Every structure is written in structure tokens, then in C-alpha cells.
């Protein structure tokens, strides 16, 4: 199993827009082949910083999602709202 953690920093004025994008995309992403789970976490001290925590059956499944039209649409809309460059990690759960 592969875990993908992505740190997203938004302009404060765009937090609500991002939450709407996430809420509408959530069922589509979790229905994507190989997606085991998806969570959205918000930093307690910096409410404009979010983390997505997703679990995938394999790196191939994650890459298939990242190359999909679904990802391109969600990411294309989301990246316009960023304050800082996103950071991402792929890790193996032990």
C-alpha cells in the first residue's frame, strides 16, 4: 500500500473555494480504481494550510490517477488558489 501526503497552502480568501472543490471531487477520487481512502486535514495554527492523506493499492494506481482527466481537472482548478508551492510525499505504511 502506498500513502500519498500532499501539503497545500492557500490564499486565505480561497479556503472556502478549495473546500468546495474537495467536497465535490471526493466521491470521484475515492471511486477511482486503486484508491483505498482519502482524508483532508487542516493545520490547527495555520488554517490556510491543508494536507491530503490518501492511500492507494500501489504506485501504479496513484500514477494512473495522476495521469487521468479527473486529476487534471481538479488540480487545474485547485492550483489557481495556492499561496505557496505544494509539497508531496509518497511513503509506504509500515
By three-state DSSP, how is residue 48 classified? coil
Domain containing residue 39: CATH number: 3.30.70.100
- Picking from 80, 69, 78, the residue whose alpha carbon sits closest to that of residue 6 is 78
DSSP state letter for 82 = B
Say how many domains are in the chain: 1
Q: Return mean pLDDT, the chain.
A: 97
Residues 59, 4: Cα–Cα separation, whole Å = 9
Give 38-73 pLDDT, tens digit per residue. Answer: 999 999 999 999 999 999 999 999 999 999 999 999
Residues 70, 27: Cα–Cα separation, whole Å = 11
Phi, psi of 11 (to 5 degrees): -65, 135
Structural domain for 71, as ranges: 2-92
Residue 94 pLDDT class (50, 70, 90 cuts): confident
Angle made by CA atoms 77, 81, 84, in degrees to the nearest 5: 125
Amino acid at each position: 500500500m502506498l500513502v500519498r501526503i500532499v501539503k497545500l497552502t492557500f490564499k486565505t480568501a480561497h479556503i472556502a473555494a478549495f473546500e468546495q472543490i474537495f467536497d465535490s471531487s471526493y466521491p470521484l477520487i475515492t471511486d477511482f480504481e486503486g484508491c483505498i481512502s482519502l482524508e483532508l486535514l487542516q493545520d490547527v495554527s495555520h488554517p490556510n494550510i491543508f494536507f491530503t492523506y490518501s492511500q492507494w493499492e500501489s504506485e501504479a494506481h496513484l500514477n494512473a490517477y495522476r495521469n487521468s482527466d479527473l486529476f487534471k481537472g481538479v488540480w487545474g482548478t485547485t492550483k489557481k488558489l495556492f499561496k505557496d508551492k505544494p509539497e508531496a510525499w509518497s511513503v509506504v505504511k509500515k
